[in-house]
Amino acid sequence: MSNSYKYLDPDYTYTDPKTGILRNLQDITEPDVLLFVESGAVTKRLQQLYENPIKIKAIESLFEIHKHLFQDIYDWAGKKRIVEISKDGKQFFPTTHFDNASRFINGLIADFKKIPKDNKKQLAEKLAEILDNVNYLHPFREGNGRTQREFLRLIALEKGLNLNLNPPDNKSVFERYMKGTVESDLTTLTELIFELIEPKN
C-alpha cells in the first residue's frame, strides 16, 4: 500500500521551502531527526492521556487530542488544516465544508453515546462509522492517524471498553486498519473493531 500524500500548499504555510520538511518548534531541518523527535514526544503525550483520559464531548475533542499530542512539535497543533490533502488520488474532505462535516460527526458521537454498553455489535458499527468520517475529514496537516486512533480509544473507554487500534508488532491489525480507512471500507473497520474491543478490567 503506497503512502503518496499530496498537499496543495503553494505558499509554504506548513513546510520550509528550502528543506521541504514541516516547520517545527524545534527548528529541526533533517526529516529523519524530525520523525524521531516527533515520535518520542507524541509517545510521551499519549502516555499522559492513558493516565488522565479526557472525556469526548464532540468533534472539538479531536482537536484537543491533537493539540495535546503535537504541542511540543508544531505551533499549529490542534488547528484545522488550511491546505487541501489527497492520498493515492483520493481527495480528503475540502476545507471549505469543515463545519458541515463537524455537525455530521457530532451526530454520530451523540448516537454512539445512546447505545447500551453491552451491545458490542452496534457499538463496533458506530465506532467504525465515526472512524470512517473522521478519517475522511482529515482535519490536520500531519498526525491524523495517531489522533483519530486515540480519539476512538477514548470514546470506547467511556463505555468501559478497551480499544487499541495500534497494537505493537501486529501487522494484520495495521493492514486492516489501513485498508478500512483508505478504502472507506466500513465492513472491514467494523469487523476489526468488533474483534478488538473488550471490557476494561
- Work out how many domains the chain is built from and give that number: 1
Centroid of chain to Cα 11 = 25
pLDDT in tens, 99-109: 999 999 999 99
- Percentage of the chain modeled with pLDDT above 70: 97
Report the C-alpha gap between 194 and 142 in whole angstroms: 28
CATH of the domain at 142: 1.10.3290.10
pLDDT in tens, 56-92: 999 999 999 999 999 999 999 999 999 998 887 788 9
Q: Which domain holds residue 64?
A: 5-199
Angle at 77 between CA 76 and CA 83, to 5 degrees: 50
pLDDT in tens, 137-155: 999 999 999 999 999 999 9
Label residue 177 by pLDDT band (50, 70, 90): very high
200 vs 99: which has the higher pLDDT:
99
Label residue 200 by pLDDT band (50, 70, 90): confident
18-31: average pLDDT: 93
Mean pLDDT (the chain) is: 93
Residue 52: half-sphere exposure toward Cβ, Cα within 13 Å: 5
